[in-house]
């Protein structure tokens, strides 16, 4: 009987109990986390929704009729939209309007006669707030108009649920850390052994030999051998993959209804825009490590190609038939089925990058000799044919994006259409990328509700996982492939790996700064998730290299963190992703909420659903069940 069992098993049990406790704590606190004042939603204008506030417009102007326009700061070069039309002939001195609270807005008041601007005010409304806009004219001059916003009732602090959930998570992880620390102490281990099996413990202590039997020693050696074998696998990669996956699951479930957990409407980044490229990045890293290992074992490239092709086909079919929003229309709804999607893009990216690797990668010796020329670029120069192909692919993306003529649109257009660009190109959403998808796939087979219609009111279907953007998805995976090459070339040289990751992160960041001019909308190529622009790829690669460097340092170098709880979903990523999509609308992942406009209830539901998938992944890991395709 060895002492390793209580340590390992108790630590895993503590992890599972902590996660379950988190679910219970978050659920219990949902009723106490009020995200809006109770009397705000019962105003004359009806129930306010999330990301909205109430605005009472008090008119003291001598004009018989005027119009209040609004425009969000998030809407770049957008037309003003009508908020309220006030008419004194209707004997109405005040109006009620609902305003957007996601971003600061500009209110502009125009007189209908001559459409002259009377005044303008810039303001950041807060969710579920109650405000008044007073329009007053100077008695000495009717042209001197003042606009003033007054808070009638303070808005609710809608971010409170996030803070409470954060502290719950922190408390759980502190308990988990302290529990793991205590379980490493010999005194605690001996006490646990005695409590679990006091008879056997006493027998071992009081035996004539005073040591375990040969069978005990052999089983203990087997345990440590298995532990050492498992430790050879880079836990940082699975941890990085699991981190990306868990954030992806959380934002797909709704992210508590908060706008910053949803995809950006067009240019720029939110938390939701980070995770898919990271998943693609770490997929590229795994491709190199996997294929180089199989090539060293003597597997033929042709045999590996068929395995890669079959896996790509499986991924594409799962995305097409299993994870597709049109599946509820029936199995034969071919007329409007969405052809592209997340798994479809992953499958194509995986196929191209794997073939590129099989064509040019050689099973190099392990470890690599360090006395060769150009030591600093030794993980790049041997793969120059791959880099030439990648540069050629990026040239294709640039040429199609900026040179392909699109009917009714300016050449090289990168905008969202709709009311953007002052409404001049309303049907040009995505420029060449959208045009290629509509021509090749058909308008009915393209994503019908892009994020651009939230702010920019675009009406043209556009697919963020379309054909043209897949080229840059391949580029992203190739940068992940480069991370895998660094791990192989500098195996067991932790300092060199960390330096290389940091160098690549800085290099990618510099390219992004040049392409974007360090701005959201004014650069040569803005950061854009919908387009998967090259600046988006370099920016997310910069983050990915840096984040992988930190996780590698903590998990595989210093081993102060074992990667939990993200490590477990990372080991079963396909199962978790497909499962969370398929069972999204089923209990216990979703239930009927008392208040559908409460951030607290949405956040509770989404955190519980995400935590359940972590628990499922942990149980499957303990049972050694992994879904591989």
| Residue 271 and residue 251 in contact, taking contact as beta carbons nearer than 8 Å | yes
C-alpha distances in angstroms, 141 versus 11, 61, 136, 329, 430?
A: 77, 11, 11, 63, 48
Contact assessment for residue 347 and residue 315, using Cβ atoms and an 8 Å cutoff: yes
Count CA within 13 A, CB hemisphere, residue 495: 0
- The rounded distance, in Å, linking the Cα atoms of 34 and 164 is 11
Distance CA 458, CA 420 (A): 9
- The answer to whether residue 263 is catalytic is yes
Of the residues 12, 139, 223, 263, only one is catalytic, namely 263
Which token pair is 439? 């021509």
Q: How many C-beta neighbours within 10 Å does residue 409 have?
A: 20
Place of tokens 């299993």: 322
97 phi and psi, to 5 degrees? -140, 155
Q: Which residue has the tokens 């908060």?
A: 258
Is the distance from CB of 574 to CB of 346 less than 8 angstroms?
Answer: no
d(CA 119, CA 149): 13
Cα distance between residue 82 and residue 73, in whole Å: 16
For the chain, the farthest-separated pair of C-alpha atoms sits apart, in whole angstroms, at 109
Strands of 52-60's sheet in order across: 94-100, 52-60, 130-138, 141-153
Residue that the structure tokens 């209580």 belong to: 6
Do residues 526 and 580 touch, judged by C-beta distance below 8 A? no
DSSP 318: I
| Residue 110 and residue 69 in contact, taking contact as beta carbons nearer than 8 Å | yes
User: What is the number of other CB atoms lying within 10 angstroms of the CB of residue 470?
Assistant: 19
Following CA atoms 532, 534, 536, 540 in sequence, which dihedral angle do they give, to the nearest 10 degrees?
110
Among residues 354, 237, 159, 280, the alpha carbon closest in space to that of 577 is found at: 280
The 3-state secondary structure of 53-96 reads: EEEEEEEECCCCEEEEEEEECCCCCCCCEEEEEEEHHHCCCEEE
Q: CA–CA separation, 545 vs 156, rounded Å? A: 39
Distances, alpha carbon 68 to alpha carbons 64, 72, 92, 422, 476, in Å: 14, 14, 15, 18, 45
Report the number of secondary-structure helices (H) and strands (E) in the chain: 18, 8
Q: 465 with 508: CB under 8 angstroms?
A: no
What is the rounded CA–CA span in Å between residue 322 and residue 337? 12
**Residues catalogued as catalytic:** 263
């Amino acid at each position: 009987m060895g002492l390793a069992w209580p340590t390992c098993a108790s630590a895993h049990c503590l992890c599972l109990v902590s996660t379950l406790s988190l679910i219970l704590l978050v659920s219990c606190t949902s009723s106490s986390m009020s995200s809006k004042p109770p009397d705000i939603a019962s105003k004359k204008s009806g129930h306010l929704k999330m990301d909205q506030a109430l605005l009472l417009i008090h008119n003291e102007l001598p004009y018989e009729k005027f119009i209040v326009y609004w425009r969000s700061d998030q809407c770049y070069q957008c037309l003003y939209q009508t908020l309220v039309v006030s008419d004194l002939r209707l004997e109405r001195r005040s109006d009620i309007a609902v305003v957007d609270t996601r971003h600061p807005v500009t209110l502009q008041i125009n007189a209908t006669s001559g459409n002259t601007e009377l005044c303008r005010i810039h303001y950041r409304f807060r969710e579920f707030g109650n405000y008044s806009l007073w329009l007053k004219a100077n008695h000495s001059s009717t042209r001197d108009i003042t606009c003033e916003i007054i808070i009638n009732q303070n808005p609710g602090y809608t971010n409170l649920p996030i803070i409470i959930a954060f502290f719950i998570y922190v408390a759980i992880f502190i308990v988990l850390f302290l529990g793991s620390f205590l379980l490493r102490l010999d005194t605690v281990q001996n006490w646990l052994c005695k409590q679990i099996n006091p008879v056997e413990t006493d027998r071992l202590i009081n035996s004539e030999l005073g040591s375990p039997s040969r069978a005990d020693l052999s089983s203990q050696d087997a345990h440590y051998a298995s532990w050492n074998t498992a430790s050879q696998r880079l836990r940082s990669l699975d941890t990085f993959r699991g981190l990306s996956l868990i954030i992806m699951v959380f934002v797909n479930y709704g992210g508590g209804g908060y706008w910053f957990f949803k995809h950006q409407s067009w240019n720029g980044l939110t938390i939701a825009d980070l995770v898919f490229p990271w998943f693609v990045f770490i997929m590229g890293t795994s491709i190199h490590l996997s294929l180089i290992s199989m090539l060293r074992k003597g597997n033929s490239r042709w045999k590996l190609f068929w395995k890669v092709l079959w896996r790509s086909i499986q991924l594409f079919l799962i995305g097409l038939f299993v994870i597709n929003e049109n599946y509820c229309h029936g199995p034969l709804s071919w007329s409007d089925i969405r052809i592209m999607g997340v798994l479809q893009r992953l499958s194509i990216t995986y196929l191209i990058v794997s073939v590129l690797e099989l064509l040019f990668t050689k099973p190099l010796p392990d470890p690599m000799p360090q006395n060769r020329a150009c030591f600093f670029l030794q993980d790049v120069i041997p793969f120059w044919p791959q880099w030439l192909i990648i540069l050629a692919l990026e040239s294709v993306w640039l040429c199609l994006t900026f040179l392909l003529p699109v009917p009714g649109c300016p050449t090289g257009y990168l905008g969202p259409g709709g009311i953007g660009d002052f409404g001049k190109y309303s049907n040009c959403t995505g420029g060449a990328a959208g045009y290629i998808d509509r021509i090749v796939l058909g308008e009915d087979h393209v994503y019908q509700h892009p994020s651009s219609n939230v702010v920019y009111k675009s009406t043209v279907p556009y697919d963020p996982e379309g054909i043209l953007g897949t080229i840059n998805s391949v580029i992203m995976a190739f940068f992940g492939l480069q991370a895998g090459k660094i791990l192989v070339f500098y195996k067991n040289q932790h300092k060199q790996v960390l330096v290389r990751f940091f160098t690549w992160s800085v290099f990618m960041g510099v390219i992004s700064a040049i392409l974007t001019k360090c701005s959201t909308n004014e650069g040569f190529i803005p950061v854009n998730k919908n387009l998967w622009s090259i600046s988006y790829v370099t920016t997310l690669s910069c983050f990915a290299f840096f984040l992988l460097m930190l996780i590698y340092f903590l998990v595989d170098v210093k081993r102060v963190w074992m990667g939990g709880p993200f490590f477990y979903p990372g080991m079963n990523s396909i199962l978790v992703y497909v499962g969370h999509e398929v069972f999204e609308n089923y209990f216990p992942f979703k239930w009927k909420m008392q208040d559908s406009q409460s951030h607290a209830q949405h956040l509770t539901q989404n955190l519980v659903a995400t935590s359940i998938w972590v628990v499922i992944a942990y149980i499957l890991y303990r049972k050694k069940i992994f879904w591989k395709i």
